[in-house]
Amino acid sequence: MVNGSASARVPGACDQCPVRTLALYWAIGEGPPAATAEAISGLKRGHRLLPARRTIYREGETSDEMFTLFDGWAFRFKVLPDGRWQILSFLLPGDTISLHLLRFDRLHFSVQSLTAVSLCIFDRASLADYVRARPALERRVETFCARETAAADERLADLGRRSAQERAARLVLHLLARLRQGSAVQGQSFEFPLRQQHIADALGLTSVHVSRVFHALRADGLVAVERNRLTILDPRALMKTAGIRQSDLDAETLYSPTAS
């Protein structure tokens, strides 16, 4: 349970891990999956449970650990010197936090838990060595990095050139698409722990305006929002508002592990 209950699910054996196919180190074609899982288990230090609103990583700090988000939601963000901040992306189960610690001592952003989360913890140096020794994994790192850049560039176009309505609709659709990819969600309804302030911080708006935008989306019958759940009532119309075609949502396959 992502939220509602105060704590997140605890990870079990890696070879049964429900998000294993999303994970960085889940290399296809490096021996049987079971062997990979065993190797990963060996690198894993353990896991950590955190409540919502905890800083997982603070910009500029060094750390000898690397994390994977097993359950719950988190986000990457930047704080400006005067206190304004920008959420760079939301992190969903299966996401790595963050890739670049494989190679660098510090990151250029901070990470905070949004709901209660559970993290799988790895030894940074060991994981780096493990990846370094396996070309297929190295290439997967590049894939992940390319995907990250592509996502950031998409966002740039959102913030620079799209209206608040478009941004909101796109956020909802992209989140659903990503959750579907992790097969955490099937229908048109999903657990939605974002407060309007988070949405505002991600879309470059104020929470007041986000409230109005969602009011409009509801009034037009596009979505329904309960406390921690969002339902897409009219996918067709929502995609039109978002300026998204179905193929755009599948387009993440552009950088999928099997491509190239």
Q: Which amino acid is at 41?
A: S
Residue 177: phi and psi, rounded to 5, are -60, -40
List 25, 67, 90, 214, residue binding DNA (CB under 7 A): 214
Angle, helix 164-181 to helix 235-242, in steps of 10 degrees: 120
162 touching a copy of itself, by CB under 8 A: yes
- With contacts defined by CB under 8 A, name the span among 10-18, 43-51, 154-162, 233-241 that binds a copy of itself: 154-162
112 touching DNA, by CB under 7 A: no
The tokens for 110 are 């901070």
214 binds, among DNA, a copy of itself, none (CB under 5 to 8 A by kind): DNA
List 152, 195, 218, 231, residue binding a copy of itself (CB under 8 A): 152
206 touching DNA, by CB under 7 A: yes
- With contacts defined by CB under 7 A, name the span among 13-21, 25-33, 34-42, 203-211 that binds DNA: 203-211
Closest CB 116 distance from a copy of itself, rounded Å: 26
- The answer to whether 151 and 76 are in contact (CB under 8 A) is no
- Which residue from 196, 191, 176 is spatially nearest to 230, judged by alpha carbons? 191
- The answer to whether 43 and 74 are in contact (CB under 8 A) is no
206 binds, among a copy of itself, DNA, none (CB under 5 to 8 A by kind): DNA
169 touching DNA, by CB under 7 A: no
* Count of residues touching a copy of itself (by CB under 8 A): 48
- With contacts defined by CB under 8 A, name the span among 6-14, 112-120, 176-184, 195-203 that binds a copy of itself: 195-203
- With contacts defined by CB under 8 A, name the span among 24-32, 117-125, 160-168, 212-220 that binds a copy of itself: 160-168
Closest CB 116 distance from DNA, rounded Å: 10
- With contacts defined by CB under 8 A, name the span among 6-14, 50-58, 157-165, 211-219 that binds a copy of itself: 157-165
Contacts of range 224-227, beta carbons closer than 8 Å, 24 or more positions apart: 225/192
User: Which residues contact DNA by CB under 7 A?
Assistant: 163-165, 195-197, 204-209, 211-212, 214-215, 225, 227
User: Which residues contact a copy of itself by CB under 8 A?
Assistant: 76, 78, 80-82, 84-86, 88, 100, 102-106, 108-109, 132, 135, 138-139, 141-143, 145-146, 148-150, 152-157, 159-162, 201-204, 243, 254-255, 259-260
